[in-house]
């Protein structure tokens, strides 16, 4: 009887508004459909279904299956799900499907600045890694970047690369004081936390007179970056295994951190090492996820995505390292500024921004 009483006492007394509940359940149906569609996006990308539909006009399931050498019945169900979600359109009169050009731009063109399938690769990795993060909640231990499913490494590069390709050489670097001219003349650059090397390779191609070194502590990613540079014929970039606190070489004119400072356990220590490795007139570019200074201003779709990624990737990564400061992906400018100034930098400013990133410039 005591156990039953305790059970009843622990049950919360909820006063449910039926209309609000109905609205929330409608929201949840949308969430479920979106979550399930993540797997379908990966299937469509890996089988070339989106690419086969791009610019091809109306297609039946049989035509798409034949074009992609896939099974018609599976394709028909996939098309129906895509149409229900608004990814493609359906013509009932002809029983055919069309991939609109706007959706094709985001789903079928890998060179597009809006190409999104890499993000769904990240989602697939996080679903596989959920048990590890669950345990971290209980133990307060970290989960290092290297402990995640490999889809995270490839997905991260494929998701971030289009944004870097669209902005890095054309807008972000030119927004820094004198850096564009220095790189065009010839400079030494360290790209720290380079992952698969997309940012390093983009800069090396944009500034052929400069020499670039990409550093990352994750050995398999460095191997990937070396192969990518070789395939692309990039000769002014090399890649080395090193952390943000021990990357090496002669003094650098320019150091870059792309979406990684907030992941570090000891960002102040990393910033201090950057200051030591810079030439007296060198510059440090820090690219961070876009964030407002107050939590309530980040409670929007972009903030939701960043907070989710921070829960699953960034905070566990920082907790797995020394200090474990756990800035999080939505750190905001005041906290980034504090890290930089505590490391001894005298100048710090927001150079430019996009809806997804803020670009900071720091000087010794």
Domain parsing of the chain, residue ranges: 18-107, 117-363
Contacts with 284 (C-beta within 8 Å, 6 or more apart), sequence order: 254, 255, 256, 257, 271, 274, 275, 278, 340, 345, 361, 362, 363
User: According to DSSP H, which parts of the chain are helical?
Assistant: 2-10, 18-46, 49-53, 61-68, 72-84, 101-107, 117-139, 151-167, 179-185, 198-206, 219-231, 267-277, 301-309, 315-319, 333-342
Q: Give the torsion through C-alpha atoms of 62, 66, 72, 75, to 10 deg.
A: -90
What architecture does CATH give domain 18-107?
Orthogonal Bundle (1.10)
Location of structure tokens 């950057």: 274
> DSSP characters for 294-307?
SGGGG-SHHHHHHH
pLDDT of residue 11: 81
Taking alpha carbons only, the member of 129, 53, 132 closest to residue 98 is 53
The helix/strand/coil state of 347 is strand
Rounded Cα distance, 202 and 165, in Å = 7
Q: For CA atoms 254, 114, 50, 121, give the dihedral sign.
A: positive
What tens digit of pLDDT does each residue of 41-78 get? 999 999 999 999 999 999 999 999 999 999 999 999 99
Let me know if the fold of 18-107 is the same as that of 117-363: no
Fold of 117-363: Rossmann fold (3.40.50)
Rounded Cα distance, 168 and 175, in Å = 10
Rounded Cα distance, 196 and 208, in Å = 20
Q: State the pTM of this model.
A: 0.91
pLDDT of residue 25: 97
C-beta of residue 251 within 8 angstroms of C-beta of residue 276: no
What tens digit of pLDDT does each residue of 180-203 get? 999 999 999 999 999 999 999 999
The helix/strand/coil state of 285 is strand
pLDDT digits (tens), the chain, 364 positions = 444 444 455 788 899 999 999 999 999 999 999 999 999 999 999 999 999 999 999 999 999 999 999 999 999 999 999 999 999 999 999 999 999 999 999 999 998 999 999 999 999 999 999 999 999 999 999 999 999 999 999 999 999 999 999 999 999 999 999 999 999 999 999 999 999 999 999 999 999 999 999 999 999 999 999 999 999 999 999 999 999 999 999 999 999 999 999 999 999 999 999 999 999 999 999 999 999 999 999 999 999 999 999 999 999 999 999 999 999 999 999 999 999 999 999 999 999 999 999 999 999 9
Give the chain's end-to-end CA distance (angstroms, integer): 70
> DSSP characters for 61-101?
HHHHHHHHT--HHHHHHHHHHHHHTTSSEEETTTTEEE--H
Taking alpha carbons only, the member of 133, 17, 32 closest to residue 84 is 32
């Amino acid at each position: 009887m005591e156990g039953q009483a305790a059970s009843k006492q622990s049950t919360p007394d909820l006063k449910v508004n039926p209309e609000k509940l109905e609205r929330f359940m409608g929201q949840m149906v949308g969430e479920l459909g979106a979550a399930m569609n993540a797997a379908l996006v990966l299937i469509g990308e890996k089988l070339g279904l989106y690419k086969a539909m791009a610019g091809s006009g109306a297609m039946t399931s049989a035509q798409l299956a034949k074009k992609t050498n896939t099974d018609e019945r599976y394709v028909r169900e996939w098309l129906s799900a895509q149409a229900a979600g608004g990814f493609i359109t359906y013509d009932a009169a002809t029983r055919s499907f069309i991939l609109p050009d706007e959706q094709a731009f985001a789903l079928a063109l890998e060179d597009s600045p809006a190409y999104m399938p890499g993000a769904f690769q990240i989602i697939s990795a996080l679903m596989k890694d959920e048990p590890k993060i669950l345990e971290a909640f209980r133990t307060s231990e970290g989960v290092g970047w290297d402990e995640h499913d490999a889809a995270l490494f490839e997905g991260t590069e494929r998701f971030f690369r289009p944004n870097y390709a669209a902005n890095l050489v054309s807008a972000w670097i030119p927004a820094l004081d004198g850096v564009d001219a220095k790189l065009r003349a010839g400079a030494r650059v360290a790209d720290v936390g380079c992952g698969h090397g997309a940012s390093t390779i983009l800069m090396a191609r944009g500034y052929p007179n400069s020499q670039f070194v990409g550093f990352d502590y994750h050995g398999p990613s460095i191997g990937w970056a070396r192969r990518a540079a070789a395939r692309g014929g990039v000769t002014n970039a090399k890649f080395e295994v090193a952390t943000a606190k021990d990357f090496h070489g002669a003094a650098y004119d320019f150091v870059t951190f792309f979406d990684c400072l907030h992941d570090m356990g000891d960002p102040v220590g990393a910033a201090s090492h950057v200051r030591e490795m810079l030439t007296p007139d060198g510059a440090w570019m820090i690219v961070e996820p876009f964030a407002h200074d107050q939590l309530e201003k980040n409670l929007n779709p972009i903030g939701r995505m960043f907070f989710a990624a921070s829960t699953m990737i960034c905070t566990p990564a920082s907790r797995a390292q020394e200090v474990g400061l756990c800035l999080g992906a939505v750190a905001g400018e005041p906290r980034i500024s504090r890290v930089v100034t505590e490391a001894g930098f005298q100048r710090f400013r927001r150079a430019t921004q996009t809806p997804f990133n803020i670009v900071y410039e720091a000087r010794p």
